[in-house]
Amino acid sequence: MTRDNTDTSERTGRSVRPRRKSSYFPPQHGAWAFLTLPLALGATVSTWDPLLALLAIAWIAAYPMSYAAFGLMRAKRSQRFRAPFFTWAAIALIPAVLLVIARPWLLWVGLAYALLLTVNLHYARHNDERALVNDGVFILECAGMVAVTWAVAAGTRTWTPPGITAVPVHVWILVIVCALVLLSSTLHVKSLIRERHNRRYAIASRAFAIASLLASIALGAWWGWPNGAWFTMPFTALAVRAFLVPRRQLRPGAIGVIELVCFLLVVAAAALAST
């Protein structure tokens, strides 16, 4: 992370212009890890299929595309978002079309995600993308992608998506694991950065981390022992970091690295549990 502009000008004696935000990439850097986690978790319980690569491209590209779309609708200088929108739309379009041809039922999934996206749009129009409710909707979108990943690999070329009862229990467990991890990360990071002066967020972050650890034991039992015991490993790490990570003088980049390590532990636990 770069230093504050004021600090830089004091040290150099020169005025420094603030860096212009990229129109191609959203400023929420942690969102990329949020987008990748459900794909990785879904892959641990899926058989390999080339469609998963197409799904990953379309899913990842949809995020900066939506960011550019929101910019076109609400930014004062909206024209700077035009090229990024069409660039990301072009990247997402081909794999999305191929996916729909192979799995027509993905049209209904796309419709459901479009409805959820209207909630994100509401908060974007009010410049309140960091609202906890908006974060919750994004977490719901990401957690659902675990089941979508499995369904794309296991599904058939029909207009009807796999029924709830057709989805293996292990997939639903990973959906819950993904939601717990992402919500825990959201509360923790907020308590360290944007809400670092709000003690309630620190309390909520720690309480949720402990509750998630207890939930991981139940999820492990639901998964089946002994393999299910692996899920306690990442949730123990999440609980420890909620209490031990210093709440001051820690750069956002360092916070992000810690969260990324925890995410990798979650994927490792899912992979080990699936063996």
Residue 14 has pLDDT above 60, yes or no: no
Average pLDDT value over all residues in the chain: 88
Contact 51, 152 (CB under 8 A): yes
Instruction: Give yes or no for a cis peptide into 95 (omega within 30° of 0).
Output: no
Answer yes or no: is 81 within a domain.
yes
- Measured N-to-C along each axis, helices 252-273 and 232-244 cross at an angle, to the nearest 10 degrees, of 160
Q: Is residue 128 located within the same domain as residue 186?
A: no
The residue from 163, 180, 204 where one domain ends is: 163
Answer yes or no: is 18 within a domain.
no
Q: Note down the domain range covering 111.
A: 46-163
Which residues touch 132 (CB under 8 Å, ≥6 apart)?
186, 190
Specify which of 83-87, 97-101, 158-162 reaches the highest per-range mean pLDDT. 97-101
Q: Into how many domains does the chain fold?
A: 2
Contact 234, 265 (CB under 8 A): yes
Percent above pLDDT 70 for the chain: 90
The amino acid occupying position 53 is A
The pLDDT score that the predictor gives to residue 205 is 95
At 205-252, the pLDDT tens digits run 999 999 999 999 999 999 999 999 999 999 999 999 999 877 667 788
Q: How many helices (H) and strands (E) does the chain have?
A: 10, 0
**0.85 surpassed by pTM:** yes
The residue from 132, 163, 194 where one domain ends is: 163
